[in-house]
Amino acid sequence: MYLLGEQSAYADALINRLQSLPAQWLLGLVPCGPDLQLDATDDLLAQLPGDQLFLLAEGVINGCIAARPLFYWQEGDLIGLQRGDEWDDCRLYSDGPLRLTPYRRHEVFQHLYADAGRADQFLAYLLGQMAILAHTVAELKPREFRSTNGFKRVEAGEILIKQGDVADHVFVIIDGHAEAFVEGHKVGDVPKDEIFGAMAVFTGEPRNATVIAREASTVMLIPGEQFLSMTRTNPKIAHSLIESMARRIGQLNKQVSQMTEIRN
């Protein structure tokens, strides 16, 4: 059972190796009947006896989970393992003709476990299927918003970012509160869950503000390159950053308006 879509070179090599295994286990086991010749079908399992397994001799079988096409099997694969309550929402179908070689399900397993080598091959087949799915999930799953440098505990009054310094990290306050200052003047607050220090990482310019912990806080540090990579692959981070910058711009606009009123 392999996922539809383009596979990595690793997955392609593993798929080619796995396909040869079922025929090897079944050597010496007599089929329980002649090959089944089937036309294109929307529901293959409904046409197959539940007490049999099948070696796919010709054709391609596709699989849906919850009506979404996700998997396929090709020549050399074993069909029929996907039975039971866990597979109620799985539907197998074919767009073309199929040829399936039938074996009694219980005889297949007796045959496999009667020989340690065959049993090991069967286990390797199942573990290989799991490895393909795990690698595919790893490719599809966005990187987690997590720092390679970990977390830092700071005390009230401790400087987190100093104006004019080189920007090599982005910060997130996990617990606590901080304040931002420019030339000694407070320009805003940095609350819990706020991303800060990102603008200078994006522009490559020195820090334009100093950030000081107002109370004891826990801060997550994210290396700049890692953060830039995450913003490209994880829309949630980019969205959170836009919200943060919008709030910061709103605060600065409010301060500018207040200063203008005072001067007038």
Higher pLDDT, 92 or 252: 92
The answer, yes or no, to whether residue 173 has pLDDT greater than 80, is yes
The answer, yes or no, to whether residue 205 has pLDDT greater than 80, is yes
The half-sphere exposure of 150 on its side-chain side, counting CA atoms within 13 A, is 2
Same fold, 2-140 and 151-263: yes
pLDDT tens sequence across 17-65: 888 889 888 999 999 999 999 999 999 988 888 899 999 999 999 988 8
Beta-sheet strand order (sheet of 178-182)? 159-161, 210-213, 178-182, 185-190
Q: Output b/e per residue, 176-202; b: 16+ Cβ within 10 A.
A: bbbbbbeeeeebbebeeebbbbbbbbe
CA distance 91 to 94: 10
DSSP-derived secondary structure for 149-188 = S-EEEE-TT-EEE-TTS---EEEEEEES-EEEEETTEEEE
The answer, yes or no, to whether residue 118 has pLDDT greater than 50, is yes
The angle at the Cα of 130, spanning 128 to 134, to the nearest 5 degrees, equals 115
CA distance 187 to 189: 7
The answer, yes or no, to whether residue 241 has pLDDT greater than 70, is no
Q: How confident is the model at residue 71, as a pLDDT?
A: 84
The alpha carbon of 259 is separated from its chain's Cα centroid by a whole number of angstroms, namely: 49
**Hey, where are the domains in the chain?**
2-140, 151-263
CA distance 125 to 146: 34
The answer, yes or no, to whether residue 147 has pLDDT greater than 50, is no
The answer, yes or no, to whether residue 206 has pLDDT greater than 60, is yes
Tokens standing for residue 144: 């987690």
The answer, yes or no, to whether residue 182 has pLDDT greater than 80, is yes
CA distance 202 to 244: 14
Q: pLDDT band for 107, please (50, 70, 90 cuts).
A: very high
Q: pLDDT band for 145, please (50, 70, 90 cuts).
A: very low
The answer, yes or no, to whether residue 156 has pLDDT greater than 90, is yes
Q: How confident is the model at residue 1, as a pLDDT?
A: 63
2-140: which CATH topology? Jelly Rolls (2.60.120)
The answer, yes or no, to whether residue 116 has pLDDT greater than 50, is yes
Q: Which CATH architecture has domain 151-263?
A: Sandwich (2.60)
